Structure formats: structure tokens, C-alpha cells
Amino acid sequence: MKILEIKFMRISLLAVFSVIFLSFCSFNESDKVENIQKPEPQTSWTSELFIKNNKLTLHEQERLFEKELILFKNDDNTLPIGDLSRKITVLSVGGNPDAFHTTLNRFANFEVLYAPTFDAISTAQLNQLKQASIAVFSLHSKDKNQLISEIPETIKNEFQEIRSDVLIVFGNSSSVRNQNFECFSSVVLAHENHEIAQRSTAQALLGALEIKGHQNGHLSMQTNGRLKFSTPQEVGIDSSYIKKIEEIALGGIKTGAYPGCQVLVAVNNKIILNNSYGYHTYEKNAKKVENEDLYDIASITKIAASTLLTMKLHSEGKFDLSKTLGDYLEETKNTTYSNVKIRAMMAHQAGFVPYIPFYNRTKENGQLKPTIYSTSKKEGYTLAVADNIFMKDTYVDSMYAQIYKTPRSEQGFKYSDLCFYFTKKIVENLIGESQHTYLLKNIYEPMGLRTMRYLPLNYFPKERITPTEKDNYFRNQLVQGYVHDQGAAMLGGVAGHAGLFSNAYDLACIMQLFLCKGNYGGKQYFSA
């Protein structure tokens, strides 16, 4: 079994087992639902089919329900939903839909709406459904008999205008089997409005859970490789091992090794632990770490951004590992870097020095040179290095000039950041845009990654981003929301070797993408 080890932040990736541990010394997105009083969530099974489940463990309840989930119709293979960059709107009617909405929003940002009755559905809500790429209409029973009222013809007529629509019935399936579902592309029957039914159905909708089609006339639906939220029991792991992992995480906090962290464990495509512990900083009033908070993932940028992007371009025949730096970058001509093979460079076999402290040349008498930095963003000074520090745009050329003047050593393995200063230049020349924007629209957003971003302050409030350090040698401030690596900061926060931020879940999805040879959520992002 091949093992890929990334030493920073102790991340291990095995072919069937992934552990993501994010920590640095240093919201959940709330459902966009109208302020309407909803019925209490259903936490007990009431139908004849499932009432025995009440005496079973959580894992057993989930397993038995999943066997009974019915895919009644699936025209055009609308399900499972793959590309999560599309606008997907959910309108839920009837009983409490919170578990359904919450689970969907663990995977991506869904627009979720609610109406207590069919009559309460507003014109504005219907218009929102019509504007969506995929519209999901979920019906939730309110009573112990799990009855579902017939959908009014006026509502069905509205759905005739929607291209890709999905009906989910959380209630007695016999009460709806005789209804005309021609206006819906896909129909899923989930039997009850129990919270477990809602969570499992949401996962099936996105391809994290298989629908087996166990009865005649029912369709089956395979998973699409998306990570499933599960339990240790489902993958045959004793819960005591999870407790040991949590003890290690809490032990590090107790000893002061770090103020807080996120821990995620995935086995065989199933997430069996995804928790956060501790605080953002060591201060008494510090913010607690939450699963949706972001960490600077530093050198993991090399694989989660740069290597990922070069693999995609290589699959498309646009990036050739057998070429040299000189083939791609004219500016390297007449330097010792011109003949460096791309394959050797990306394998850290090109004899580059580990790193260059570029910031040292931009200081004088312990202060930042005013000819290189400005305290405000203005023409010619647009590269944000930290709060109220903007570097001169043209100084980037001086950084590369410093690289070219730095001698290379004999070839052989030597880990170096400099390799990815070059990959960034190469790929941005090939794609004609920033590495950041290309990854966002072509990989991260389609995968449903909500936190994996360069330049996180452009997308999230600062309080969701964990601080990395108190910098008293360069920026002289608490670094929060800006990349910790000085060289990456001087490039404006978007670099090949550092600059990416993420939570543990999004990072796990990227690792799963690599394990599945470029396929995730039913989409092939690169060829292995």
C-alpha cells in the first residue's frame, strides 16, 4: 500500500484511511429559512415498517432505513447530484425539515426554503425554485401516521416549468403512490419524517449513499464517490479508538501545544469523526473552534492546489513533465534554471535551496522600507501582505531575480518551496488567469468545497479564520486571514507553495479525490 505523508500538521493519507488534523498555534452556515414556527423534529419511529427501530442503536437504525429508501423515478439521471457549483434550491413543506436542510448544507451551500402548508407557498418561493439549476421539493409528514396530502394541481403546474426537479416524500409512501409525478424528473420515497430518514436521504441525493432498489419496479442508484457521514460501526471500527483520537487532540490543547484543532477521520469513503476542539487562541475569551472555521494549510497548498492543477492540465495535454523551465518561461533563459526538467523540479530533485527569506531585503533598521510598502492600497501597491501593509507590485520581479541569482546544488532530493514559485507562473501562463480563480470555478466549487480558498478574507469574516502567529519580525501584528508564509504573502497571498486555507472536511474531500484517481462526486477532474 502506498502511503503519502505530509509532515506539516501531521496529516496521513492511506489508500483506505484518512486522518485530517488541522491545528495552528496561533458557522456553520445557518439555513436561509424564513422565520416561521416549525413543528418539533421527529425523533421516534412511528410507522409499522420502522417502529421496531426505536430499540436499536443509531448505526442499526441507519442501516435498516437505508435498505428501505426507494428511488421511484429518475429521468435523465438527475440523481445523484454531482456538480455542486450549480444553484440548488430546496423548498420543504409540512413537518420539520431541519435535519434534511442541515445535512445538505454539510456538503455545499444550498438555498433552503420552508412553508408549513401547500397554501403557504409564496410566489417568491416558486420563483426561486424556477431560477435554480436544480429544484428540490420535499414533503414532510406532520403526524404519527406519516400521511402526506396530495400535491395540488396548481403546484404541479408550476413544476412543469422547472427543467430539473426532484420530489422527496418523507412520509407514508402508500399515500402518494397513486399520484401523478410526471411533472418531476426524479422521485424519492423516504417513508417517514424521522431525523435519520432526513439525514440519510440527503446523503443519497448527493451520491454519498447508495439506493439499492430492492423491490421490483424500483430503481437503484450507485454512489458517486462523495464522502459519506457515517459511524465507526459501519466500517468495523470500535468507538474506543475514536475516543483515543479525541484524547490525543485534547491532550495537545491541555499541554499548550496548540489552542485548538479540527480532527477528521475517513475510512473507506466514510467520515466517522469530524469534530473541533479548543479555541482559536490561548486567550481566556477566545472563540471556540467550529467545524466550518478555516486554517492556513501552508505547504499542503503544494498538493491541494498546485499539484492538483498541474495534474488537471497534464490530463488535458497542456502541461508536459518532460519539458524544462526554459521551455515554459522565457525569463529563465541564460540562468542555471533554464534546463531544469519539470519532472525533477516537482519531485524536489532539481537542487533548489529549501527557501529564500525574501522579506529580509525589504527591511531597513528593523522597519519595512517605505519605498516597497504602503500602509494603504493604492496604484502600484496592491499586494496585501497583512492588515495595512501593501507591497509594491513590481517587487515580485525582484523576488524572482533573487531566485535566479541563487546557486543550485547538486541534484538529489532536497525539499524546496521554490519549485512551486515556478509552477504558479507556468500554469497561470497556460490558463490565462490566476491559479486561485481557476481552481475555484473548475474544481473547488463543483466539488462543493465551501472553505478551501486563497485570500479567505475576500469570502469570510475574520472571526471564522484561525490566527497563525504573532509576527514580531516582519509584519509586527497578529496574522489572521493572511497567509503565514512570508514569500506567499509578498506574492499577494496566492502562491504555489502556500496560501491556501481550508477546514478539515474540504481537505478530506481533496484527499479523497486523489485516492479516487481524479474522480469525485461523479465527475472526473483529472486522469491518473
Judge if 260 and 310 occupy the same domain: no
Could you report the per-residue pLDDT of 498-527, keeping only the tens digit for each? 999 999 999 999 999 999 999 999 999 999
Residue 233, domain member (yes or no):
no
Judge if 371 and 442 occupy the same domain: yes
Distances in Å between the Cα of 282 and the Cα atoms of 226, 255, 287, 438, 461 are: 36, 12, 10, 36, 20
What's at 74, amino acid-wise?
N
Judge if 515 and 367 occupy the same domain: yes
Split into its structural domains, the chain has a count of 3
Q: Say how many C-beta atoms besides its own lie within 10 A of residue 390's C-beta.
A: 20
What's at 430, amino acid-wise?
L
Judge if 257 and 350 occupy the same domain: no
User: C-alpha 188: how far from its chain's center?
Assistant: 26
Distances in Å between the Cα of 385 and the Cα atoms of 292, 382, 397, 424, 488 are: 24, 9, 16, 18, 9
Which CATH number covers residue 173? 3.40.50.1700
Judge if 217 and 260 occupy the same domain: no
Q: How many CA atoms lie within 13 A of 221 on its CB side?
A: 33
Confidence of residue 234 (pLDDT cuts 50, 70, 90): very high
Judge if 252 and 334 occupy the same domain: no
Three cell numbers written together for 10: 501531521
Could you report the per-residue pLDDT of 158-169, keeping only the tens digit for each? 988 887 899 999
* pTM (two decimals): 0.92
Over 60: is that where the pLDDT of 69 sits? Answer: yes
Residue 232, domain member (yes or no):
no
Residues 6+ apart with CB under 8 A from 340: 324, 325, 350, 408
Judge if 208 and 110 occupy the same domain: yes
Phi, psi (rounded to 5 degrees) for 445: -70, -45
Judge if 178 and 306 occupy the same domain: no
Residue 432, domain member (yes or no):
yes
Residues 356, 343 contacting (CB under 8 angstroms): no
Could you report the per-residue pLDDT of 441-487, keeping only the tens digit for each? 999 999 999 999 999 999 999 999 999 999 999 999 999 999 999 99
User: Residue 345: which domain range?
Assistant: 298-524
Boundary residue ending a domain (179, 197, 226): 226
Which CATH number covers residue 340? 3.40.710.10
CA pair distance 496, 525, nearest whole angstrom: 19
Residue 234, domain member (yes or no):
no
Helices marked H in 123-184: 123-131, 153-159
